[in-house]
Amino acid sequence: MNNRKEALIPAVGVITDIRIDTPDVKTFRVVTPDGKKAFEHKPGQCAMLSIPGVGEAMFSITSSPTNTEFMEFSIKKCGCVTEWLHQAEVGQQITIRGPYGNPFPVDDVFAGKDLLFIAGGIGLAPLRSVINYCRHYKDRYGKIDIVYGSRSKEDLVDYKEIIDEWVVDPDINVHLTIDREQEGWDGHVGFVPNYVKELGFDTGKTAIVCGPPIMIKFTLDGLCSVGFDKKQIYTTMELRMKCGIGKCGRCNIGSKYVCKDGPVFRCDELDELPDEY
Binding site for other proteins (CB under 8 A): 1, 4-12, 52-56, 78-80, 82, 89, 91-95, 238-240, 242-243, 245, 247-255, 272-274, 276-277
Q: Which is nearer to other proteins, 12 or 111 (CB)?
A: 12
| Nearest-approach distance from CB 50 to other proteins, in angstroms | 8
Query: Minimum distance between the CB of residue 52 and other proteins, rounded to whole angstroms?
Result: 4
**Measured distance CA(233)–CA(189) in Å, rounded:** 24
Query: Which region, left, alpha or beta, applies to residue 214 given φ > 0 means left and ψ of -120 to 50 means alpha?
Result: alpha
Compute the distance between CA of residue 261 and CA of residue 65 in angstroms, rounded to an integer.
20
Distance between CA atoms of 181 and 184, rounded to whole angstroms?
Answer: 9
Q: Which is nearer to other proteins, 92 or 182 (CB)?
A: 92
Name which of 206 and 252 has its Cβ closer to other proteins: 252
Q: Measured from the CB of residue 103, what is the shortest distance to other proteins in angstroms?
A: 16
In the complex with other proteins, the residue whose CB is nearer, 8 or 111, is 8
Q: Is the peptide bond before 213 cis (omega within 30 degrees of 0)?
A: no
- Of 100 and 148, CB closest to other proteins: 100
Smallest distance from the beta carbon of 241 to other proteins, in angstroms? 9
Provide, rounded to whole angstroms, the least separation between the CB of residue 259 and other proteins: 11
Q: How many CB atoms lie within 10 A of CB 240?
A: 11
* 8-state DSSP, 103: P
Buried residues in 187-216 as b, exposed as e (16+ CB within 10 A): eeeebbbebbbeeebeeebbbbbbbeeebb
* Residue (220 or 241) nearer to other proteins, CB: 241
- How far apart CA 118 and CA 233 sit, in angstroms, is 10
Identity of the residue, 91 or 200, whose beta carbon is nearer to other proteins in the bound complex: 91
8 A C-beta contact, residue 180 and residue 191 = no
Residue 10: asked if its preceding bond is cis (omega within 30°), the reply is no
| Residues 5-38 as b or e (16 or more Cβ within 10 Å = b) | eeeeebeebbbeebeebbebbbbbbbbbeeeebb
Distance CA 224, CA 232 (A): 10
The minimum distance between CB 6 and other proteins, in angstroms, equals: 6
CB of 3: closest distance to other proteins in angstroms? Answer: 11
Closest CB 195 distance from other proteins, rounded Å: 24
Output 130 or 210, the one with its CB closest to other proteins.
210
Q: How many whole angstroms separate alpha carbon 84 and alpha carbon 100?
A: 23
